[in-house]
Amino acid sequence: MAHVLIVGGGMSGLSLAWYLKQFQKGWDITIFEADERVGGKAWTEREDGFIMERGVNGVLDNKPSTLELAAALGVTPIRSNDASRIRFVVRNGRLVRLPDSPRAFFTSPVLSPWGKMRLMGEFFIPPGAEDKDESLAAFAIRRLGDEAYRYLIDPMASGIYAGNPERLSLKACFPRIHELETRYGSLIWAMISLQKEARKAKKTGPSAGPGGVLTSFTGGMEDLVDALRKALTEEIEVNATVEGVEFTDGNWQVQLADGRAFSGTHLVLSLPAFEAARVVSPFSSRLSFLFSKIEYPPIAVCALGIKREKMENPLNGFGFLCPFCESRKVLGGLWDSSVFEHRAPSGYHLVRCLIGGMRNRHILEKSDHEIAGLAISELKALTGLKGAPDLVRVFRWQRAIPQYHVGHLALVEEIGQGLRKFPNLFIRCNWIGGVSLNDCVLNSKILARKMAEGKDVSRF
């Protein structure tokens, strides 16, 4: 009988185990989590009536993988408020609303008249080389112009990856955009064509903003983690740091730091790349070297509970992003109590500021007090905060989001070749196949089915 050993109890490992139980009910599964809790960056803190996310804020319902899993587990989702469709970017030291329609774009101050003309000229820009792995910055400047890059694309990259667009790979990070340029030759023409197709099919066409409705759960993302933990109680080993792994006598052997050992037929690395590099180093220095190429930036999340009368801005929106060229102290701010109901007690706002990223890699050298001071000073400047917040919490991520840099897809292909040298060795984590929670859950489902059916086409 198969025994699957899953090293890592984040959302990828948990969802993989759950799907394996559905597809192969006779298999044994063991999840090893080094921490005392499972769930990874889906982690909610609840204090004094505030519901604060340490990490992921929710999922978009246009990719239904996470919500389908939640439904199967009996967890009821909640949709974000209409305010979540309203988003801001900082320009010239003030918040400017991002346009959500072509008409709004032409009247918006987010770009200068020249910047708007250059962006509209995208229609006449020839497509780039299909096989070139181009950086997000190079692509955006080539197609949209420097100003649109600085005020639209750069903050988007910071918001999703906390990354440097000059290093992020377009094909790896935003494959759909690369596909549209390749197919239509122009992003504007692609938008027009897709909207025509949608009207014919009597569906909603694509928009300039993120698709779908942001969705979470009543008690935060921890509700989904709790449901998975309960469904996998017999499979989970917490406080179980993997000391070493080896393949002997046709099976995988996992040695824990507390002296326990486990043997299994399949091994899945559901760890951050740097931890996976440590685990595989005894039996494959090559894989360890490849895994170690994945970079992670540090991020501090500062959650602030603020009485409404202390804030001049009504915070009617999702939040704001800060272009790098604006030289702000934060990457952006999320107005959580405006996005979801009951995230703060009556009469209070809950705001989370993100600080750090690839272009501010020393942020965690600062104290919690210093980090909170940066967030508070920016809220005073941008949203009119008066006085001190009533609750301050700082959450630290030493290595936050894996970076899909130029060359990432070639690296993944080389990793796949290396994995095939070892029987039943797999990877399932967000450093391959997409960083979003939706991507992680969907890829876990796909891999679970492949494993259950004995397919060895892909190892992740």
Identify the pLDDT of residue 424. 95
CATH number, domain of 138, equals 1.10.3110.10
Last residue of some domain: 397, 417, 435? 397
Amino acid at 383: T
CATH number, domain of 356, equals 3.90.660.20
Identify the pLDDT of residue 204. 62
Q: Does 347 share its domain with 288? A: no
Assigned domain for 95 exists: no
Q: Please give the C-alpha separations between residue 75 and each of 72, 92, 222, 308, in angstroms, as whole numbers.
A: 8, 43, 11, 31
Q: Does 105 share its domain with 196? A: yes
**Residue 59 burial (10 A CB sphere; 0-12, 13-18, 19+):** buried
Q: Does 408 share its domain with 388? A: no
- C-alpha angle 323/328/334, rounded to 5°? 75
Last residue of some domain: 397, 413, 430? 397
Identify the pLDDT of residue 206. 60
Last residue of some domain: 182, 200, 218? 200
Q: Which of 437, 438, 447, 436 is nearest to 64 (CA)?
A: 438
List the domain range (segments joined by +) for residue 187: 100-200
Q: Mind listing the pLDDT tens digit of every residue in the chain (460 residues)?
A: 899 999 999 999 999 999 999 999 999 999 999 999 999 999 999 999 999 999 999 999 999 999 999 999 999 999 999 988 999 999 999 999 999 888 899 899 999 999 999 999 999 999 988 889 999 999 999 999 999 999 999 999 999 999 999 999 999 999 999 999 999 999 989 988 888 887 777 666 565 555 689 999 999 999 999 999 999 999 999 999 999 999 999 999 999 999 999 999 999 999 999 999 999 999 999 999 999 999 999 999 999 999 999 999 999 999 999 999 999 999 999 999 999 999 999 999 999 999 999 999 999 999 999 999 999 999 999 999 999 999 999 999 999 999 999 999 999 999 999 999 999 999 999 999 999 999 999 999 999 999 999 877 789 9
Identify the pLDDT of residue 361. 96
Q: Which of 372, 414, 359, 334 is nearest to 164 (CA)?
A: 359
Q: Does 267 share its domain with 304? A: no
**Residue 287 burial (10 A CB sphere; 0-12, 13-18, 19+):** buried
**SS3 state at 353:** strand
Q: Which of 212, 207, 204 is nearest to 61 (CA)?
A: 212
Rounded (to 5) percent helix, strand, coil in the chain: 40, 20, 40
Q: Does 383 share its domain with 413? A: no
Assigned domain for 211 exists: no
Q: Does 108 share its domain with 186? A: yes
Query: If you compute the radius of gyration of the chain from its CA atoms, what whole number of angstroms results?
Result: 23
- C-alpha angle 384/386/389, rounded to 5°? 110
90 within 8 A of 328, measured Cβ to Cβ: yes
Assigned domain for 279 exists: yes
Q: Would you give the end-to-end CA distance of the chain in angstroms?
A: 22
**Placement of tokens 């179980």 in the chain:** 240
Assigned domain for 442 exists: yes
Q: Does 303 share its domain with 282? A: no
Q: Does 271 share its domain with 412? A: yes
Return all residues near 212 (Cβ < 8 A) that are at least 6 apart: 60, 61, 62, 63
Amino acid at 314: P
**Residue 230 burial (10 A CB sphere; 0-12, 13-18, 19+):** exposed
Beta strands 348-356 and 77-79, pairing class: unpaired
Q: Which of 441, 432, 440, 444 is nearest to 408 (CA)?
A: 432
Q: Does 290 share its domain with 427? A: yes
Under DSSP, the state recorded for 37 is S
Q: Does 288 share its domain with 302? A: no
Q: Give all strands of the β-sheet with 266-269 in edge-to-edge order.
A: 236-237, 28-32, 3-7, 266-269, 425-427
CATH number, domain of 261, equals 3.50.50.60
Cα gap 40→228, rounded to integer Å: 12
The partner residues of 352 in beta bridges, in order of sequence, read 303, 334
Tally of domains in the chain: 3
> To the nearest 10°, the Cα dihedral for 92, 98, 103, 107?
-10
Identify the pLDDT of residue 203. 66
Assigned domain for 56 exists: no
Assigned domain for 83 exists: no
| Token pair belonging to 354 | 């993100």
**SS3 state at 83:** helix
Stated as kind and residue range, the H or E segment containing 122 is none
Assigned domain for 48 exists: no
Cα gap 449→200, rounded to integer Å: 35
How many Cβ atoms sit within 10 Å of the Cβ of residue 180?
Answer: 20
Q: Does 313 share its domain with 166? A: no
Assigned domain for 93 exists: no
Q: Does 189 share its domain with 250? A: no
How many Cβ atoms sit within 10 Å of the Cβ of residue 244?
Answer: 15
Q: Please give the C-alpha separations between residue 274 and each of 285, 288, 292, 396, in angstroms, as whole numbers.
A: 13, 8, 5, 17
